[in-house]
A and B are shown apart, each in its own frame.
Chain A
Amino acid sequence: MKLFKLYQLVIAVSFLLLSCRKLDETVYSSIYTENFYKTSSDAEKGLVAVYDPLADMANGPALTLASDLSADQSYPRAVVGRNTLTLFTYDPNYTTQQSNGRLFESPEQIWISCYDGIEKANWIIEKVPGATMDAVRRGQIVGEAYFLRAFYLWIATKNFGDVPVKTRASVSEAEAIVGKSPKAEVYKQIYSDLDKALAAGLVSYPAVEKGRPSKEAVNALYAKVALYNEDWPLALQKAKEVIASGKYSLMQDVRDLFRFDKEDVARIENIWAFESEPEANSRSSQLSSLLGPTGSAAPAYGKNYFWFYVCLPVFFQLL
């Protein structure tokens, strides 16, 4: 009988021991956001992600052909499985009923990528100033993020006019949603971001790493943005600053701008461009296959066969 009492005690005690615990989660393949953006490599990796939406837009026709197609300057050739309707039709339903799921060819892709980039830049701008790392590079990283935020916001307003200006990271659902701002406000924000990028100590050409904006590129974007804002004196002033820097000049032969093997030499005129790499493990662009010769007639870096473009536009330079 004594034994039985012991049992009841054991059971009672163990049930107490097994009382509710906190059930916190252990992450293995990702990192809690609050534990990230702390070191120089965190900051660099986070910054790579800010460039990524540029590749998302430039991979398909969204960034490169949007304006030409929507302005009827060119039109796509109907081929198997694609017709004229697929491109650049607006669809109120999220599933792009008419564009048939080809989101990357639609103007919506511009919107998605711009705000994707702005969100990623916001995290850098908010968090990286607190990172423990070399102060010079830290300033440049934040500067690149300002430059890219300005670029994305400009692409958005250039295509859509009045757009939301979002300068804080989406920490909660409530903070994720902001209203639209008039175009003048948008440009004010772009100018402000570019001013900060200018003050960030970015490297000048040719020392700048290929693919990143140089200090002069900030002024070049400034000039272009000001043009779109019809702010002529500012555009002139910024363009002059780029020229006065003496870092950039025109190519001897304009055709060399378009040559695959002259890509790096042409950076003296191509101030900043999307870094398309044709290798398997990289961010490439459909542009060559959309515009280039078909299949086996193409050079090795652009073999493909879904050639569909009828009018050849000017090759797309970002700056």
Chain B
Amino acid sequence: MKSHRFIISLLMSCLALMAGLAAQAQSYPLKGKVVTEDKAPIEGVSIVNKTTGKGIATDNAGMFSINISPRDVLVISATGYVTEEIKAAGQTALTVTLKTLDKELGEVIVVGYGTQRKNQTTGSIASIKAAELTQTPVVNVAQGLQSRVSGVQINQNSGSPGGNVSVRIRGTNSINGTSEPLYVIDGIQVSNGGGITSVSPLSTINPNDIESVEVLKDASASAIYGARAANGVVLITTKRGKNGATRVSVDSYYGVQNVTKMLEILNGAEFAQLENEVFNNNAYPDPKSFGEGINWQKLIFRAAKIQNHQVSVSGGSEKTQLALSANYFDQDGIIIKSGFKRYSFRLNLDHRISSKIKIGSSLSESYSINSGILTGSQSQGDGPAVTGSILGAAIGAPPIMKPYKDDGSIFPFGEQFNGQYREVANPLGIAEILNKTAIHRTLGNIFAEATLLKGLTYRASFNADLQSSLNDTYSPRSIISRNDLNDNSGSAAKNSSYFMSLLHESILTYATTISANHSLKFTGVFATQTENSNFNNLSATGFPNDATTNEAVQLAINRTVNSGRSKQTLDSYLGRINYGYKDKYLVDLTTRVDGSSKFGANNKYGFFPAVSAAWRIIAEPFMENVNWLSDLKLRASYGLTGNAGGISPYQSLSTVASTGSNYSFNHVFFTGINPTGIANPDLRWEKSTQADIGLDVSLLNNRFSLVVDVYNKNTQDLLYIKTLPLTSGYGSITGNYASMENKGIEFAANARILDGKLKWSASGNLTMNRNKVTGLDGGVTQERFVTNYTILKVGEPLGLFKTFVFDGINQKGEAIMPGYDGRLGGHKVKDLNGDNVITSADQTITGNPNPKYIFGFSTNVSYKGFDLNAFFSGSQGNDIYNLSRLAFENPLGQRNLLKGVVNRWTPTNPSNQYASAAQGGRLPLSNYFIEDGSYIRCKNITLGYRLPIHKGISSARIYISANNLFTITKYSGFDPEVNTFAGSNTAIGIDNLVYPQARSFIGGVQVSF
């Protein structure tokens, strides 16, 4: 089925190629010169004979000579200038004057399945150039986009190299589905995701190859991506070769990173004193003798290097252009043993077979190696938060313990102090746990484009995304204390996964003008995509020794294996009509039909239409005399988009599988097979209807520009895991049971403040988004807990914190309310309903993790060869649930705590904040742990100097930069940009210790030959 479709498409491409080989007529040479409006010659201008497809470039005097015949047309183009077409008939000597391209208005931007002049767009599209993307030392494109685009909230959830980043375009649109946008890299569709400790899929793609990024925000711009467009679309275009002199560029930087802060914790003496109090046993008769003890944070943090080296070659002739690059990126983590390395190359090739036929290819390959470390846990308070995370262990490890034995090996805590502190772990031991992921990724496509008739082109492309990854883990015996070591010690795993996505697209475009005033462009696309995934996992425990780590699993006593495979297909049919009247009134109509194998039997195909219009007021006759305005455009759009990202294959079906339903008979273990859930033949995509109104204004010859958009996005049929009565045999059923809205306003402004010898420009953006859940479970549920302190509630935004209300400490003589584990010296919570007992009715909404607004601001100053850039970002009005304090402000014994606990309640020190020492005690989940997460961050300051040009070197720049230089915040944790639950839609702004963001200082050089 699949294969014959590809064959047909291939045939179509071949036919298109053959047709282009048209006959050629007699020719004669034409000489000419290309100049600017100021009569200065332009070098490297492309002169192409449109009929023959042959062309040349101008020399350094702007001169050229080309063979033509009388009916030929010459296309004269150069970067930064308006392209001219000149009829050859009657020309013998030619002087062509190229007008400077008005940067803002004439700019061509990439849209879904095509390109468009920026002034003709009707949708909300933001465009970001390479220089901005890579101003900071980023490992992936999403980091580079952070705070650059209005309406887009990007959170670096983890500071681990290559780590998790979440992107939200115009708010979170889903509860149980994904809210990440669709990424399209040169036509190849890629998704982002992953947990807090996994490598971001985007990190396997080298951001230095990117020419530009377009963010499609409203329904009009994104609807052409149909069932995957509701979260917005990020179009990534990589650098392609240009006709002209070959250019070799070297771009390198090297830097050092450090942690921005360490948490204040108890020292040895304070810890020993606390232990005496908790256990009331005077185990340490002289606490002061322990002095400062060990601050374990100093043992796990380090100064870490970061480096990036890229060599690019680009150039080509009229017929063939190429861009080739090789890149090496290497970032050590600021926590020991962690790091990320990537080797990659890219080859983009374009070749013109004839004036009518063009072929090309984009190919990139990367090999990334991530050394991960367990830094945080999603479980609250105890065990895993302390022992399962190197940060938790570094805070919880008693400062009185020894890190190393006399022989230099790691000293397990179970072997010290009679095992009293065995429930906390030696952080250096956690660092010994291997967790390495190696990912190969190939992104490639080939395409052929044929001009069939005047204005009619057909393009066929074949795209592939191939990934294979291997995750190696080994937890050694050496970190286990002697008493706990047994035959089953030492655990290893090898998890491999393979992913292959194949996509074919056939694109037919027809552009025409009717009587000069009406422009019409039609785009029709057929696309078919298949995704195959499979994994093979093996794990084992019980190794004789650590010598072979996980490389000889056959040595282990216990071994388990599991594997799985899945496949999904997507067929799409789409069309778009762009109509313009005198470049003044513009209307776009878009529709897409998406059919996915994942959808339920009753809903296989979805239909996604959008309409948009723009009025270029500036082009009206009555604006002719308004010279101070250089652009004024009003845009409006309305459309329907879908989100199928949360649906996994087979989810709508009734299947049986082996999901751990096991039992033993006659002492032999048997694996059972059980039904996995209730079929839902109605399962379908989430539907977002979005309305957008935007205004583009430019003043004083585009010196100042402003883009404002307001939007309202209603999402219906949200994927939701509806709770079923447990008597059904299952806990839940997944279906389209919820709804939500996001509305907001976004501003983006640019200014060229000074434009003389001293240049000063600035740009900023501000986004306000308001999210509201409008329905859950079709009205059955009004409110539901997501974590023990986060709720989903109808009429409220996602992620609200609902907890008890902290009311100080239970003091002597006070009556202690029953129902919540209250004690003298312990936390007191408010009895909100006054029934003299603490129940869940006394929990109330105490915080909101959604920011009131987020912003980014950057400024560039340049004078002669010097340039100085600064970049700030921020978030205001968001709360953080600092869950780590639940574990580390609770004096329950056997673990070290945050410094504040020195001031804990005792009969003689009636503190009203810090609970008293109590063995095994627990603090109630209250708003005590909620903090203001607002911040302003200086993300980057760069000082660069462009060296005077030497022979053989066309440009050279050196720079130094400081990244994440300072953050102004009241937040007490490592960093206010945090989420333990990574890209979760519903659990937001929670800090249970994640890998902190590094501060880095970098020096770099950019040279072109």
Residues 272-309 of A contacting B (Cβ, < 8 Å): 275, 277, 279-283, 295-296, 303, 305
How many chain A residues touch B (CB < 8 A): the figure is 92
| Contacting residues, chain A, for B379 (C-beta < 8 A) | 101
A158-B724 Cα distance, complex, nearest whole Å: 23
Q: Is A243 an interface residue (CB 8 A)?
A: no
Q: Are B15 and A27 in contact (CB under 8 A)?
A: no
Q: Closest B-chain residue to A211, C-beta based?
A: B665
Q: Closest A-chain residue to B598, C-beta based?
A: A25
A283-B731 Cα distance, complex, nearest whole Å: 22
Q: Are B662 and A283 in contact (CB under 8 A)?
A: yes
Quick one: given A172-B679, A296-B483, are A51 and B663 in contact (CB under 8 Å)?
yes
Q: Is B795 an interface residue (CB 8 A)?
A: no
Q: Is B959 an interface residue (CB 8 A)?
A: no
A177-B722 Cα distance, complex, nearest whole Å: 13
Q: Closest B-chain residue to A94, C-beta based?
A: B723
| Contacting residues, chain B, for A3 (C-beta < 8 A) | 19
| Contacting residues, chain B, for A10 (C-beta < 8 A) | 11-12, 15
Q: Is A136 an interface residue (CB 8 A)?
A: no
| Contacting residues, chain A, for B83 (C-beta < 8 A) | none
Q: Are A48 and B733 in contact (CB under 8 A)?
A: no
| Contacting residues, chain A, for B730 (C-beta < 8 A) | 119, 170, 176
Q: Are B383 and A81 in contact (CB under 8 A)?
A: yes
A79-B922 Cα distance, complex, nearest whole Å: 10
Could you count the A-B residue pairs with CB atoms below 8 Å apart for me: how many are there? 269
Q: Are A275 and B655 in contact (CB under 8 A)?
A: no
Instruction: Report the stretch among B242-250, B365-373, B669-677, B761-769 that lies at the interface.
Output: B669-677
Q: Closest A-chain residue to B22, C-beta based?
A: A3
Q: Is A209 an interface residue (CB 8 A)?
A: yes
A44-B665 Cα distance, complex, nearest whole Å: 12
| Contacting residues, chain B, for A52 (C-beta < 8 A) | 660-663, 672, 674
Q: Is A46 an interface residue (CB 8 A)?
A: yes
Q: Is B198 an interface residue (CB 8 A)?
A: no
| Contacting residues, chain A, for B820 (C-beta < 8 A) | 85
One digit per residue, 1 when the CB lies within 8 angstroms of any chain B CB and 0 when it does not, for chain A 76-87 equals 001111111100
A34-B654 Cα distance, complex, nearest whole Å: 8
Q: Are B729 and A280 in contact (CB under 8 A)?
A: no
Q: Closest A-chain residue to B491, C-beta based?
A: A280
Highest count of chain A CB atoms <10 Å: which of B452, B595, B675:
B675
Instruction: Report the stretch among A16-24, A227-235, A311-319 that lies at the interface.
Output: A16-24
Residues 5-46 of A contacting B (Cβ, < 8 Å): 6-8, 10-11, 14-15, 17-18, 20-34, 36, 42, 44-46
Instruction: Report the stretch among A60-68, A108-116, A218-226, A252-260 that lies at the interface.
Output: A108-116
- Closest chain-A Cβ to B141's Cβ sits at a distance in Å of 32
Q: Is A268 an interface residue (CB 8 A)?
A: no
Q: Are A30 and B661 in contact (CB under 8 A)?
A: no
Quick one: given A10-B12, A120-B729, A177-B725, are A275 and B663 in contact (CB under 8 Å)?
yes
| Contacting residues, chain B, for A17 (C-beta < 8 A) | 5, 8
Q: Closest A-chain residue to B725, C-beta based?
A: A177
Q: Are B729 and A32 in contact (CB under 8 A)?
A: no
Q: Are A25 and B727 in contact (CB under 8 A)?
A: no
A24-B731 Cα distance, complex, nearest whole Å: 27
Q: Is B893 an interface residue (CB 8 A)?
A: yes
Q: Closest A-chain residue to B920, C-beta based?
A: A78
One digit per residue, 1 when the CB lies within 8 angstroms of any chain A CB and 0 when it does not, for chain B 582-609 equals 0000000000010111110000110000
| Contacting residues, chain A, for B93 (C-beta < 8 A) | none
Q: Are A7 and B661 in contact (CB under 8 A)?
A: no
Q: Is B558 an interface residue (CB 8 A)?
A: yes
Q: Are B894 and A177 in contact (CB under 8 A)?
A: no
Q: Are A85 and B821 in contact (CB under 8 A)?
A: yes
- Closest chain-B Cβ to A169's Cβ sits at a distance in Å of 7
One digit per residue, 1 when the CB lies within 8 angstroms of any chain A CB and 0 when it does not, for chain B 638-676 equals 000000000001100111111011111111011111111
Q: Is A188 an interface residue (CB 8 A)?
A: no
| Contacting residues, chain B, for A296 (C-beta < 8 A) | 483
| Contacting residues, chain B, for A82 (C-beta < 8 A) | 382, 920
| Contacting residues, chain A, for B649 (C-beta < 8 A) | 25
Q: Are B657 and A29 in contact (CB under 8 A)?
A: yes
Q: Are B663 and A283 in contact (CB under 8 A)?
A: yes
Q: Closest B-chain residue to A276, C-beta based?
A: B664
One digit per residue, 1 when the CB lies within 8 angstroms of any chain A CB and 0 when it does not, for chain B 564-578 equals 111111010100000
A15-B460 Cα distance, complex, nearest whole Å: 13
- Closest chain-A Cβ to B779's Cβ sits at a distance in Å of 16
Q: Are A170 and B894 in contact (CB under 8 A)?
A: no
Quick one: given A31-B655, A33-B654, A176-B724, are A20 and B605 in contact (CB under 8 Å)?
yes
Q: Closest A-chain residue to B673, C-beta based?
A: A45
- Closest chain-B Cβ to A235's Cβ sits at a distance in Å of 27
Q: Is B399 an interface residue (CB 8 A)?
A: no
Classify chain B: how many residues form its interface, as a range.
35 or more
Q: Is A123 an interface residue (CB 8 A)?
A: yes
Q: Are A49 and B787 in contact (CB under 8 A)?
A: no
A83-B649 Cα distance, complex, nearest whole Å: 42
| Contacting residues, chain B, for A247 (C-beta < 8 A) | none
Quick one: given A54-B663, A98-B840, A172-B679, are A4 and B724 in contact (CB under 8 Å)?
no
| Contacting residues, chain B, for A115 (C-beta < 8 A) | 726-729
Q: Are A177 and B727 in contact (CB under 8 A)?
A: yes
- Closest chain-B Cβ to A176's Cβ sits at a distance in Å of 4
B5, B453, B488, B920: the one contacting A83 at CB < 8 Å is B920
Highest count of chain B CB atoms <10 Å: which of A7, A25, A97:
A25
One digit per residue, 1 when the CB lies within 8 angstroms of any chain A CB and 0 when it does not, for chain B 692-733 equals 000000000000000000000000000000011111111101
Q: Are A280 and B488 in contact (CB under 8 A)?
A: yes
Q: Are B785 and A97 in contact (CB under 8 A)?
A: yes
| Contacting residues, chain B, for A91 (C-beta < 8 A) | 840
Q: Are A25 and B662 in contact (CB under 8 A)?
A: no
Q: Are A25 and B597 in contact (CB under 8 A)?
A: yes
Q: Closest A-chain residue to B789, C-beta based?
A: A97
| Contacting residues, chain B, for A49 (C-beta < 8 A) | 661, 672-674
Q: Is A164 an interface residue (CB 8 A)?
A: yes
| Contacting residues, chain B, for A118 (C-beta < 8 A) | 727, 729
- Closest chain-B Cβ to A39's Cβ sits at a distance in Å of 12
Quick one: given A33-B654, A178-B727, are A11 and B597 in contact (CB under 8 Å)?
no
Q: Is B493 an interface residue (CB 8 A)?
A: no
Q: Is B458 an interface residue (CB 8 A)?
A: yes
Q: Are B671 and A78 in contact (CB under 8 A)?
A: no
Q: Closest A-chain residue to B18, C-beta based?
A: A3
Residues 246-286 of B contacting A (Cβ, < 8 Å): none
| Contacting residues, chain A, for B541 (C-beta < 8 A) | 280
Q: Is B538 an interface residue (CB 8 A)?
A: no
One digit per residue, 1 when the CB lies within 8 angstroms of any chain A CB and 0 when it does not, for chain B 342-365 equals 000000000000000000000000
Q: Closest A-chain residue to B450, C-beta based?
A: A7
Q: Are B728 and A30 in contact (CB under 8 A)?
A: no
| Contacting residues, chain A, for B596 (C-beta < 8 A) | 23
Q: Is B921 an interface residue (CB 8 A)?
A: yes
Residues 530-547 of B contacting A (Cβ, < 8 Å): 534, 541-542
Residues 460-489 of B contacting A (Cβ, < 8 Å): 483-484, 486, 488
Quick one: given A25-B650, A31-B656, are A48 and B729 in contact (CB under 8 Å)?
no
| Contacting residues, chain A, for B675 (C-beta < 8 A) | 33, 119-120, 123, 169
A25, A55, A80, A210: the one contacting B423 at CB < 8 Å is A80
Kindly list 4 other residue pairs between chains A and B, CB separation below 8 angstroms, not including A36-B673, A49-B661: A31-B655, A31-B673, A47-B672, A171-B654
- Can you offer 21 A-B residue contacts whose CB atoms are under 8 A? A18-B5, A21-B571, A23-B571, A23-B595, A25-B598, A29-B563, A31-B656, A46-B674, A48-B672, A48-B673, A97-B840, A100-B380, A100-B381, A173-B678, A176-B725, A177-B724, A211-B665, A277-B667, A280-B488, A283-B663, A295-B483
Q: Which 3 A-B pairs have the closest CB atoms?
A: A119-B729, A81-B382, A48-B672
Residues of chain B having any CB pair with chain A under 8 Å:
1, 5, 8-9, 11-12, 15-16, 19, 379-383, 419, 422-423, 452-453, 458, 483-484, 486, 488, 506, 508, 526, 528, 534, 541-542, 557-558, 560, 563-569, 571, 573, 593, 595-599, 604-605, 649-650, 653-658, 660-667, 669-676, 678-680, 723-731, 733, 784-788, 820-821, 840, 843, 892-894, 919-922, 925
